[in-house]
Structure 1
Amino acid sequence: MQPDAPEALKTLNIKKIWLPVLCGLAITGFLFYKSGKISRATVALLSEPNWNYWCIALLCIVLREVGHIFRLRILSNSSLSWTSCFYIAILWEFASAVTPSVVGGGVVAIFIFSKEGLSLGRSLSYVIVNGIMDNIFFLLAGLRGFWGAYESFFAMADEFSGTVKTIFFISYMMLLIYSLIIAIGVFINPKLLKWILMRVTSITFLKRWRRSAYQLSKDIITTSNEFRGRSMLFWSKILFCTMLTWVVRYAFLNCLIAAYSYSAVSFSEHLAIFGKQVVMWSLMLVPVSPGGSGIAEFLFQQFFEPTLGDYTLMIAVLWRVCTYYLYLTLGAIFLPKWIRRVYSKSISLHKSVSEL
């Protein structure tokens, strides 16, 4: 996988934020208009939260980035500076926010890694291993999420919940199969995986994917070589950072709902909220809008209106501001700084070489 620098820079463009912002505002405005449930009471609710839960929610945002930064630092065996890890974490989130969910920010992340001084092979390896770790979390949380959300959502015998169950199951099984294939290639026998992929894509109706399969097998071999022989302690640290990052990512909404709930949210209700988010994430793999903008707000209403009632859309706005628009803002702030930083280093290096 060779990152295209002009294409990556086109994605990492501040102007890209306007499309998801406008899309999100349009869908949210339509949902408010259609529901007719916005009133002074719902707006006044925003100024009367449980501030203890709000503080925990804000801590979740911080811990999410701390976990991401530490994971990058550990993956690189400290070859990436803390500053580099910070920029990569922020800009990776930004790239994911301005690209459709089906595209993701992986290719852009490879470009960001390479501009921070890593070789293409190492950059690619870090992105693949990050993806494997994220998939492990989803596969584990998906089991808990399915059962945690079942009684409060899947038990509803309507058309929407039936569709959600089907999409969730298909997404889960596809991710499980894909993750097993990649994990076998990276951790067990990459050359065997290459042989299998080449054999499978030699079948007549699969030949169109032969080149992609060959490139994937090359990427897997590169990743396997990079991480071969790493200790259990290394992988334990990576897995812990991954779990921390995702748990606090979802816990933010738990805290937000608890902050505005009239009654205490029980443990089983927290599990249901967590489970619904896992299921929502599986649906968010499908949307073609940047960062799932607009689709996320719609899904939030479908999932949480039975629980939140008239306050659903107000909570949805707060949720998206703190978990999505925040990263658009941070990207707009730090992207110009990062571009000046990495390209000034390249200019300085060229000057030093020319003076030799």
Structure 2
Amino acid sequence: MRGKKNIDTTLRKLRISRIILPICIGISVVCYLFWSHFDIQAFKSIDWGYQVFAWLLLGVLFYVIRHLAYSYRLFILSDKKLSLRKSAELIFIWEFATTISPTSLGGSAVAMIFLSLERLKTARAVTIVLYTIVLDTFFFVVSVPLLLTILGLNVIRPEIFTWDDMNGYGITFFIVFAIMLTYGFIFYYGLFHRPDQIKKLMAFFARRRILRRYKEKLIQTGQDIENSSRRLRAKSPDLHIKAILATFTAWIFKFALMFCIIYAFIDTVPRTLYHTFMIYGRYETMWAITAASPTPGGSGLAEYLFGGFYSDYVPLSLAVVVAFTWRIIAYYTYLMAGVIIVPAWIRKIYNRKKSVNLGE
């Protein structure tokens, strides 16, 4: 009965009908941009030679590598209790949950549920998700200052060169970055230094009247997280190094997709190291801003902001074509994959639970 309730909860969070909203928002914005900015002559000027498809294929390859890096991270963090194949499947579901949630944390919340359904203890699932948040935050702690140091404030937006040029986009970026650092540090501190504080936090929630029905589960989860944290800290440095490398690989190849897309369509952009890193860096800052979007997966906002963030690289007349291609690879692919993978996964989990119950 308990397993059935967990499955029903996951179904409510991952129901396929929820893809309609982000698709409608995204397509509506794309249609508006096509209507207001699309230039058929500029589109015809694109040289549809082999280099376009070569760059696009490279971009797709980068996203495959990103997916495999995340899968490997989940594989090692689960102590190999999840196979690489199973980890790859779960990353598809995790990413799908993110595409239909207002923020990436929404996807992480669902991840705790479906990881626990995959024969992982709830505490282990929670620990894995919290640790991935710590690892992701660590990537930005390293990469953002590095990009700002090498490329300057212009990496945030084309019009920002000095602190006097700072506008709403720049301020939003630094606010989101500060929030990211804050919750990343809290989770790091809780997992690696004071897991007893997480235990106390769970006990605090358990005493709330609205959560009274979950009191025992919350208290037990707090205790389990404390034990899991102890085991996590006892792991060999190799595991943490591998997890960090997998995290960095996933994020780097995610953001590297952008220069593949731009180089595919805009042959006037110089293929230099500086411009490659600038295009890459702008994707980081744009992602941080869209991560705060109230729309599912940043749909609509991402397509709309693209032209402004890359106005010095992509003509406005072609921005909608480049942006839509980018979103197809980076966003809609996971949205569509979820339609296929999630129902099959739910049925498999349900049948497994049913078999166990019948065996009892």
Instruction: Please indicate the TM-score interval, normalised by the length of the shorter structure.
Output: 0.7 to 0.9
**1:109 alignment partner in structure 2:** 111
Query: Aligned-pair distance for 1:323?
Result: 0.4
Q: 1:136 to 1:218 in 2, by over 3 A?
A: farther
Percent identical across equivalent pairs? 27
Aligned AA (1:296): A
Is residue 351 of structure 2 the alignment partner of residue 344 of structure 1?
yes
Q: 1:192 to 1:343 in 2, by over 3 A?
A: closer
Query: Aligned-pair distance for 1:6?
Result: 3.3
- The within-5 A match list for 1:137-286 is 137-147=139-149, 148=151, 150-151=153-154, 153=158, 155=160, 162-191=167-196, 221=226, 223-263=228-268, 264-286=270-292
Distance (whole Å) between structure 1 residues aligned to residue 358 and residue 198 of structure 2 = 44
**2:321 alignment partner in structure 1:** 314
**2:25 alignment partner in structure 1:** 23
Moved more, 281-290 or 137-146: 137-146
Query: Aligned-pair distance for 1:18?
Result: 1.0
TM-score (norm 2): 0.85
For the residue of structure 1 that corresponds to 2:68, the secondary structure is helix
**1:72 alignment partner in structure 2:** 74
Query: Aligned-pair distance for 1:168?
Result: 1.4
Distance (whole Å) between structure 1 residues aligned to residue 240 and residue 111 of structure 2 = 21
Q: 1:8 to 1:94 in 2, by over 3 A?
A: same
Distance (whole Å) between structure 2 residues aligned to residue 166 and residue 143 of structure 1 = 15
Aligned AA (1:151): N
Aligned AA (1:150): L
8 Å contact from structure 1 (residues 68, 242) kept in 2: yes
Distance (whole Å) between structure 1 residues aligned to residue 338 and residue 347 of structure 2 = 14
Aligned AA (1:318): T
**1:38 alignment partner in structure 2:** 39
8 Å contact from structure 2 (residues 42, 318) kept in 1: no
**2:58 alignment partner in structure 1:** 56
Q: 1:234 to 1:28 in 2, by over 3 A?
A: same
Query: Aligned-pair distance for 1:76?
Result: 0.9
Q: 1:47 to 1:226 in 2, by over 3 A?
A: farther
Query: Aligned-pair distance for 1:131?
Result: 0.9
Aligned-pair RMSD on alpha carbons? 3.0
Distance (whole Å) between structure 1 residues aligned to residue 152 and residue 257 of structure 2 = 17
Moved more, 152-161 or 219-228: 152-161
Aligned AA (2:276): H
How many corresponding residue pairs? 340
Q: 1:159 to 1:7 in 2, by over 3 A?
A: farther
Q: 1:219 to 1:100 in 2, by over 3 A?
A: farther
Q: Among 124, 127, 130, which residue is 1:128 paired with? A: 130
Aligned AA (2:282): K
8 Å contact from structure 1 (residues 145, 279) kept in 2: no
Q: 1:194 to 1:118 in 2, by over 3 A?
A: closer
Query: Aligned-pair distance for 1:303?
Result: 0.3
Query: Aligned-pair distance for 1:123?
Result: 0.9
Distance (whole Å) between structure 1 residues aligned to residue 281 and residue 335 of structure 2 = 26
Q: Gaps (5+ residues) in structure 2?
A: 213-217
TM-score (norm 1): 0.86
**1:204 alignment partner in structure 2:** none
8 Å contact from structure 2 (residues 26, 300) kept in 1: yes
8 Å contact from structure 2 (residues 73, 246) kept in 1: yes
Q: Gaps (5+ residues) in structure 1?
A: 202-206
